[in-house]
Structure 1
Amino acid sequence: MTHYTYSGIWPVAPTPFHPDGQVDMEGMKRVLDCMVDQGVDGICILANFSEQFLISDAERAALTKLSLEHVAGRVPVIVTISHFATDIVVARAREAKDLGAAMVMMMPPYHGALLKGTPEQTFEQFRRVGEVGIPIMLQDAPLSGVELPVPLLVKMAQDIEMLKLFKIECPQAAAKLRALIEAGGAAIEGPFDGEEAITLLADLDAGASGTMTSALIPDLIKPVVTAHLAGDRAAAMAQYAKVLPVVNHENRQCGFRAAKAAMVAGGVIASDFCRHPIPPLHPQTRAMLLELLQPLDPVVLNWGK
């Protein structure tokens, strides 16, 4: 089996808000501590599941500094830096590096449904971030609407030294991971998936070495990855079957609101407020989430009690 430099579970940290909509900075520290106690291999901040599209630039800067100082090297921290403007992405990469981030994550340049980076523009933006000298995770997500064919990804991996990881969460992720690994070889140092692990088993079978989930149940998803990488596919399948109903409910019904709802239930944070125009979870959706979680006894439901 191929040995990858990067593996394991590196979830996205949610951003807690007070009921008045202000960022809960003390709650952010508790989120990070809970995630470390969940046994994660790394933490990603300011991603889409962190509600980065609802956070101001000043809040971004404050959250980046707070998170890196508070984690203090206990696990690697990935800072999401996606933006359409290349100069802004490069500046965010420099800031993340200067503050001690282990890595940055970025989507290709896009803005809305019709303003999308060409292959050449995408390559150039990643190349310029690579010059900053910090490892990069490329996020191939439907949200960007940018097509990233495997030959382009392989060329980027081969020509941009700091491009190390590929988070593939497009439709048919397993097929793309398989093709990427086959064509890219050693240049693909960390093939990951995402989407709350809804396709994890197929993606691991295709050669994924890790996953970027939410902060909901990384303690229960990590054993799937660990067992599979150790060659115990039966154990991975058995554990995956246990967690799949929760993963499905999160992926299909809750989105990024699930982790915060569970963290409120477990006393990690005081509020699961989401900024407008994001609606709150419907009470029935929340109730089913907790109903599915409780028999699994995850860290998140006990951490703050």
Structure 2
Amino acid sequence: MIRHKLAGVGAALITPFTPDGRVDYDALARMIDYVIEGGVDYIVALGTTAETPTLYLPERAVIAMFITNHIAGRVPLVVGVGGNSTSEVLDQLREFDLRGADAILSVTPYYNKPSQEGLYQHFRTVSEHSPLPIILYNIPGRTGVNMTAETTLRAARDLKNVIGVKEASGDIAQMQRILDERPADFLVLSGDDGMTLELMRRGGDGVISVAANAFPRRFMQCIGRAKAGDFDGAQKEYEALDEAVRALFAEGNPVGVKCALSVMGLINDRVRLPLVPGSEALRARFERLIAEYDLR
């Protein structure tokens, strides 16, 4: 069942760029191999960490196809399909070749700040047109609107192809209500690396992770212990990652993770404006942390 395949750790894949700003497909292939070899359970393409708002729609379609082909069935794939216009999201569903994907991740509409009823009607419409199961994505710090537990649960109960939520509200009480009242097999995934263990301790199913881009092997060791119910062991494993994970977000995402990956020699640290590369201080911080904690 697809819900079981998408528990655990999904790597929220970056989009590498060449020095002149084009998509770097050689580096993208390296990143796909790197996270799969690091043990991630699945890959999430075209999410927040992929700088999707700066990608043209044709670029997104090509990236989705490239990732599908390079994964070649090794792990499941979730493709980000979202936006602040419901009709534009439907356009993406028509334009993208989703035949190799297992589910879509769809963010709450941003900037226009819909009501809870507006959020529900948006996802109802998307669900009616989606050929794949849907994971909702709630990230109020970026979108300007919080999808409440009540709205998430309403969608989970009413919309049969809505199979889970990536919760990045930072509100553990909200997450707990979803956990307590969710339908059977409804996935509750952390959208914050630092909250993953607490959410899993309470019955959550895993995380869609930024850290798994940079430190997949070490991060999977930590989450593997949590999946086995050894939360003390997982917390001990996480102690070696804690400062590095915080550093990933010190200057924003994906600025931090691209800086870390460039230190490790996997990509260059090019981002698209309005983002700018990480500072020299951040780069020095990652050089120290990667060496000190053996994070390669």
What's the TM-score once normalised by structure 2's chain length?
A: 0.91
Where do 4+ consecutive residues of structure 1 move more than 4 Å? Answer: 94-97
Is the Cα contact below 8 Å between 1:15 and 1:51 reproduced in 2? yes
In structure 1, what is the equivalent of residue 243 of structure 2? 245
Distance, in Å, in 2 between the alignment partners of 1:73 and 1:296 is 32
In structure 1, what is the equivalent of residue 155 of structure 2? 156
Is the Cα contact below 8 Å between 2:197 and 2:231 reproduced in 1? no
Residue 12 in structure 1 maps to residue 34 in structure 2: no
1:95 Cα offset (Å): 4.5
Residue 213 in structure 1 maps to residue 219 in structure 2: no
1:208 Cα offset (Å): 1.5
In structure 2, what is the equivalent of residue 202 of structure 1? 198
Is the Cα contact below 8 Å between 1:11 and 1:43 reproduced in 2? yes
Distance, in Å, in 1 between the alignment partners of 2:244 and 2:47 is 21
Deviation string 1:220-260 (CA, Å, 9 cap, x unpaired) is 12222221221212111111112111111112345212322
Matched residue SS, 2:262:
helix
Matched residue SS, 2:121:
helix
Is the Cα contact below 8 Å between 1:193 and 1:212 reproduced in 2? yes
1:100 Cα offset (Å): 1.4
The correspondence of residues 1-305 of structure 1 with structure 2, limited to 5 A, is 5=4, 6-96=6-96, 98-110=98-110, 112=111, 115-131=112-128, 132-142=130-140, 143-172=142-171, 174-186=172-184, 189-195=186-192, 197-214=193-210, 215-269=213-267, 271-298=268-295, 301=296
Is the Cα contact below 8 Å between 1:165 and 1:191 reproduced in 2? yes
1:104 Cα offset (Å): 0.7
Distance, in Å, in 2 between the alignment partners of 1:33 and 1:16 is 14
Q: How many residue pairs align between the two structures?
A: 289
Is the Cα contact below 8 Å between 1:258 and 1:289 reproduced in 2? no
Distance, in Å, in 2 between the alignment partners of 1:138 and 1:11 is 16
User: Identity of aligned pairs, percent?
Assistant: 26
Distance, in Å, in 2 between the alignment partners of 1:126 and 1:28 is 30
Is the Cα contact below 8 Å between 1:201 and 1:237 reproduced in 2? yes
Deviation string 1:126-179 (CA, Å, 9 cap, x unpaired) is 22222323111111102111221111111100011111111111122x222211
Distance, in Å, in 1 between the alignment partners of 2:151 and 2:159 is 12
Distance, in Å, in 2 between the alignment partners of 1:49 and 1:239 is 24
Gaps spanning 5+ residues in structure 1: where? none
Matched residue SS, 2:125:
helix
Q: Which 10-residue stretch deviates more, 248-257 or 58-67?
A: 248-257
1:117 Cα offset (Å): 2.2
Is the Cα contact below 8 Å between 2:65 and 2:97 reproduced in 1? no
1:45 Cα offset (Å): 1.0
Distance 1:239 1:94, change over 3 A: farther
Matched residue SS, 2:272:
coil
Q: Which 10-residue stretch deviates more, 39-48 or 98-107?
A: 98-107
1:193 Cα offset (Å): 0.5
Deviation string 1:99-118 (CA, Å, 9 cap, x unpaired) is 311111111222x2xx1222
1:287 Cα offset (Å): 0.9
Distance, in Å, in 1 between the alignment partners of 2:149 and 2:168 is 13
Is the Cα contact below 8 Å between 1:81 and 1:89 reproduced in 2? yes
Match for 1:160: what amino acid?
Answer: L
Distance 1:97 1:158, change over 3 A: farther
Match for 1:43: what amino acid?
Answer: I
1:120 Cα offset (Å): 2.4
Is the Cα contact below 8 Å between 1:106 and 1:137 reproduced in 2? yes
Gaps spanning 5+ residues in structure 2: where? none
Matched residue SS, 1:155:
helix
